[in-house]
């Protein structure tokens, strides 16, 4: 992996939830290349092994830790494991999350639903609740558990992951959009709450990136773009999907004490201009 620029995180300890995912794994590698010791956190530690192995091969330090971001006891165990190993936590990246397939409403507008087609009225609200829980509580709970160990640490900072759905609801995914809007709101809340305690809290709002979780929504089984994918490209002033690597520079800026030491409560879009274009 090539870093867009280098910052010095030597001696710092970073925890990345969803560290085995596409974006989380990339963040783990980037933080390690800057010298941080990285805890790759996921529900099943073994899924983080390839990320850990990459980091070790590149001469960095990493460990896989198993925890479910919705399970307080498992997060507490993870925190104790990390503290026992490295003695502190400086950086938390709340990257676990994503859209839940079963919570998707299958049409943009109710008028498009054919008779007998699943729609908002037939949707199982438990699936939408799962999506809200994963994204919103899956950010609040790790912030509570790991944040408690970060107060007073050098360069203590938290980076949450919001989305374009936070600026206005994306069609078909009301649960995901609502949860990400709440994450942006929580980022601002926590920025104030921890401001005098030395923890900076910011968020990234990625635009559209091709990863495993959204592939089926954006591409047909034969690889051709879905109508939704075409709309995304038309609505992105830069006219393309982002590469996950485009997020690295923004992450490094937000965790750099020299680069963003006076920045807190910011939700930084990395989106080719999607958030500022209404289509006309
Ligand atoms: N891909 C995009 O275009 C895009 C756009 C905007 C925001 N995001 C956000 O970026 C983040 C990472 O997404 P990604 O695209 O890398 O997806 P991904 O599916 O590759 O990664 C998500 C990770 O979260 C983990 N996870 C899920 N539930 C968990 C739980 N209960 N406990 C612990 N870990 C859990 C998964 O195992 C996986 O490792 C998500 O918050 C997603 O909403 C992605």
> Do 124 and 227 belong together in one domain?
no
Taking residues 121-138, what's their average pLDDT?
Answer: 98
Range list of H helices, 161-238:
174-194, 212-218, 227-235
- pLDDT (tens digit per residue) in 34-75: 999 999 999 999 999 999 999 999 999 999 999 999 999 999
Domain of residue 53, CATH code: 3.40.50.720
Taking residues 133-150, what's their average pLDDT?
Answer: 98
> Do 50 and 67 belong together in one domain?
yes
> Do 81 and 133 belong together in one domain?
yes
Q: Which domain covers residue 94, as residue numbers?
A: 13-207+243-270
Taking residues 171-190, what's their average pLDDT?
Answer: 98
pLDDT bracket for residue 231 (50, 70, 90): very high
* 98 touches ligand 1 (CB under 6 Å): yes
Return the ligand 1 atom nearest residue 212 CA.
20
> Do 249 and 234 belong together in one domain?
no
> Do 102 and 225 belong together in one domain?
no
Identify whether 279 is part of a domain. Answer: no
DSSP annotation of 136 reads I
Identify whether 8 is part of a domain. Answer: no
- pLDDT tops 90 at residue 225: no
DSSP annotation of 242 reads B
For residues 158 and 86, give the distance between their C-alpha atoms in angstroms, rounded to a whole number. Answer: 18
> Do 233 and 247 belong together in one domain?
no
- pLDDT (tens digit per residue) in 73-87: 999 999 999 999 999
> Do 118 and 235 belong together in one domain?
no
Cβ proximity of 200 and 260 under 8 Å: yes
DSSP annotation of 223 reads S
> Do 247 and 234 belong together in one domain?
no
pLDDT bracket for residue 216 (50, 70, 90): confident
For residues 181 and 222, give the distance between their C-alpha atoms in angstroms, rounded to a whole number. Answer: 33
Identify whether 278 is part of a domain. Answer: no
> Do 261 and 234 belong together in one domain?
no
pLDDT at 223: 83
> Do 177 and 63 belong together in one domain?
yes
pLDDT at 75: 98
Active site residue 241: no
User: Helix, strand or coil for residue 80?
Assistant: helix
- pLDDT tops 90 at residue 17: yes
Handedness of CA 232, 235, 236, 238 (dihedral sign): positive
For residues 263 and 269, give the distance between their C-alpha atoms in angstroms, rounded to a whole number. Answer: 15
Nearest CA to ligand 1 atom 41: 97
- pLDDT (tens digit per residue) in 111-125: 999 989 999 999 999
> Do 172 and 264 belong together in one domain?
yes
Out of 16, 19, 20, 21, give the residue to mutate to test ligand 1, the one with the largest number of ligand atoms within 8 Å of its CB.
21
Cα 112 to middle of ligand 1, angstroms = 30
* 162 touches ligand 1 (CB under 6 Å): no
Identify whether 6 is part of a domain. Answer: no
Name the domain count of the chain: 2
- pLDDT tops 70 at residue 213: no
* Mean pLDDT, all residues of the chain: 96
Tally: H helices and E strands in the chain: 10, 7
């Amino acid at each position: 992996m090539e870093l867009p620029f280098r910052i010095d995180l030597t001696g710092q300890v970073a925890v990345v939830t969803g560290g085995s995912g596409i974006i989380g794994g990339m963040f783990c590698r980037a933080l390690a290349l800057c010298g941080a010791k990285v805890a790759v956190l996921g529900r099943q530690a073994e899924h983080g092994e390839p990320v850990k192995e990459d980091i070790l091969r590149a001469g960095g330090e990493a460990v896989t830790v198993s925890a479910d971001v919705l399970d307080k006891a498992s997060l507490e165990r993870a925190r104790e494991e990390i503290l026992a190993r490295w003695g502190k936590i400086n950086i938390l990246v709340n990257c676990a999350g994503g859209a839940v397939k079963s919570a998707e409403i299958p049409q943009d507008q109710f008028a498009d639903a054919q008779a007998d087609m699943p729609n908002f009225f037939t949707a199982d609200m438990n699936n939408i609740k799962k999506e809200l829980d994963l994204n919103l509580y899956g950010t609040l709970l790790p912030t509570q558990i790991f944040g408690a160990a970060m107060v007073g640490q050098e360069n203590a900072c938290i980076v949450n992951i919001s989305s374009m759905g936070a600026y206005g609801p994306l069609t078909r995914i009301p649960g995901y959009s609502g949860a990400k809007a709440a994450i942006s709101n929580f980022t601002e809340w926590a920025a104030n709450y921890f401001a005098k305690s030395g923890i900076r809290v910011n968020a990234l709002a990625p635009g559209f990136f091709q990863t495993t979780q959204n592939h089926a929504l954006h591409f047909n089984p034969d690889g051709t773009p879905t109508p939704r994918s075409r709309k995304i490209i038309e609505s992105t002033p830069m006219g393309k999907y982002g590469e996950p690597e485009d997020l690295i520079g923004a992450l490094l800026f937000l965790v750099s004490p020299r680069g963003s030491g006076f920045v807190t409560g910011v939700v930084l879009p990395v989106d080719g201009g999607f958030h500022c274009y209404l289509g006309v």
